[in-house]
Amino acid sequence: MDLRIEINEAPQEVDYQEILAPLREYNQAKTGLIGTEKLAFLIKDDLGATQGGLYANISGQWLFVDLLVVPEAAPVSFLRQNAPTHGHLCAE
């Protein structure tokens, strides 16, 4: 089989899924695990608007972070005091 690299400057969701498929197959064959769970920690302001947060997927015992946005107005002490715990995920 001949392989080549193509640059796609306007990738679609189908492209992402086609790249992800062999990775999922490999991981399933090696671990027996199927699927992922989505997880988000949202940083909200007083009006309930999202100002930042973390968006991730959990597969097995691995956390894959897709997005992490911490607003400039959020000091580190705020994050330490307000980080929620979720199962085995905890802030210390």
* 56 burial type by CB count under 10 A (0-12 exposed, 13-18 middle, 19+ buried): buried
Q: What are 56-91's pLDDT values in tens digits?
A: 988 877 888 999 998 887 766 666 666 666 554 544
Q: What is the pLDDT of residue 56?
A: 95
Q: What is the pLDDT of residue 49?
A: 95
**What domains sit in the chain, N to C, each tagged with a CATH number?**
34-92 (3.40.630.30)
- Specify the 3-state DSSP secondary structure of 4: coil
What is the rounded distance in angstroms from the CA atom of residue 57 to the CA atom of residue 37? 5
Q: What are 25-55's pLDDT values in tens digits?
A: 888 898 887 778 899 999 999 999 999 999 9
What is the rounded distance in angstroms from the CA atom of residue 76 to the CA atom of residue 79? 5
